[in-house]
Amino acid sequence: MKPDENIKTLTPSAFKRRFGAGLSTFLSMTKEVKKKEKKRKQKNKKKAGRKPTLCPEDEILLTLTYWREYRTQFHIGTDYGISEAVTCRTIQKIENILSKCKKFQLPKNKKNR
């Protein structure tokens, strides 16, 4: 069971409080990720490997949860029923897509502090 199955019942203010991003921002993120995935599928018509376990919406929610709560990738992965490695790759994929479109302000890397 995914932890965020009841997000449809959240009010916009509760959604922002839970994930740290507004509902309209989440919908814009979803649109960008789906657009990028569609381009990737058109480019690589023959796709090897497994089908993704999570839909784009869940991938974004997973990433938002990681940014918001600072939980380990292992713990978030167990909530979503995926491994720590898949959680890491998912977060990296979503971060790369969102940072390239430059519509969103992503958390900064804390290396230079």
Whether 26 maps to a domain, the answer reads yes
Whether 108 maps to a domain, the answer reads no
Q: Specify the residue for token string 């916009």.
A: 12
pTM above threshold 0.85: no
Q: What is the pLDDT along the chain (113 residues), one digit of tens a residue?
A: 466 567 778 888 999 989 988 888 899 999 999 998 888 777 766 666 777 789 999 999 999 999 999 899 999 999 999 999 999 999 999 998 988 887 776 666 555 44
- Report the SS3 class of residue 50: coil
Q: What is the distance between the terminal CA atoms of the chain, rounded to a whole angstrom? A: 38
Whether 78 maps to a domain, the answer reads yes
Domain carrying residue 18: 7-41+52-101
Going by C-beta distance under 8 Å and a sequence separation of 6 or more, which residues neighbour residue 41? 47
Whether 2 maps to a domain, the answer reads no
Whether 62 maps to a domain, the answer reads yes
- Report the SS3 class of residue 56: helix
- Residue 113: per-residue pLDDT: 40
Number of structural domains (the chain) is 1
